[in-house]
Chains A and B, each alone.
Chain A
Amino acid sequence: NAGVMQNPRHLVRRRGQEARLRCSPVKGHSHVYWYRQLPEEGLKFMVYLQKENIIDESGMPKERFSAEFPKEGPSILRIQQVVRGDSAAYFCASSPPIGGQNNEQFFGPGTRLTVL
């Protein structure tokens, strides 16, 4: 009964490189969310996806960041031309198909991105 899986757990990139973060949701969950946690700050919503659709990207920076959740395979958060300010923990969460009032989201272990 695997939970949310993320890889890599740690990623080091130099300024200007690309970072790709992967997330496989809990089996049976069709909703994926990405959050970012900067040092000494709270979790901030970035994007909400369902299979092949971006539902809400209101928290995504307008440039350099993109996300996808293809029909097959994991969800990918892609950061192009990384800068030092992108250093953070990136968490993926998943939830089952939405019903009623609840929207319980279960978090993966996170990817800790360090930009040198």
Chain B
Amino acid sequence: QKEVEQNSGPLSVPEGAIASLNCTYSDRGSQSFFWYRQYSGKSPELIMFIYSNGDKEDGRFTAQLNKASQYVSLLIRDSQPSDSATYLCAVNGRGNNRLAFGKGNQVVVIP
């Protein structure tokens, strides 16, 4: 079982719609959860972090964490063409500082 899984294929959403991305993780003791955005050929950029169950909102982004289900999600409201990128879910495991990344989900926002 992979540490962090992002299974959905590329996601196409019309401009102004909500993009929803999901991520599951295997280590029940994981403590911190991150969403990074990576444009093609660029480095990952931290956009959200969450470590408590529930929702955390920052502008058009909302991260949701459910530790019982080992599930973290990212919602992008009012999607813009500039949101077109690959979104990486990352998890900080118990007792270590390294981040385990999922393979990422590509989001394409169609004007």
Chain A residues near B (Cβ < 8 Å): 31, 33, 35, 41-45, 48, 55-56, 58-59, 91, 93, 95, 98, 101-110
Contacts and interface: CB of A to CB of B under 8 A. Distances in A.
16 contacts: A35-B99, A42-B103, A43-B90, A43-B99, A45-B98, A48-B96, A48-B98, A55-B97, A56-B96, A58-B98, A101-B31, A101-B51, A103-B32, A106-B46, A107-B45, A108-B43
A105 to B, nearest CB: 6
Contact of B46 (A48, A55, A104, A109): A104
B51 A110 contact: no
A58 B32 CA distance: 20
A46 B94 CA distance: 17
Interface of B: 31-32, 34, 36, 42-46, 49, 51, 88, 90, 92, 96-104
> Which among A43, A44, A45, A109 has the greatest number of chain B C-beta atoms within 10 A?
A43
Nearest to A109: B43
B102 A42 contact: yes
A91 B44 contact: yes
A44 B3 CA distance: 11
Contacts of B101: 35, 42-44
Given A42-B88, A42-B104, A43-B88, A105 B43 contact: no
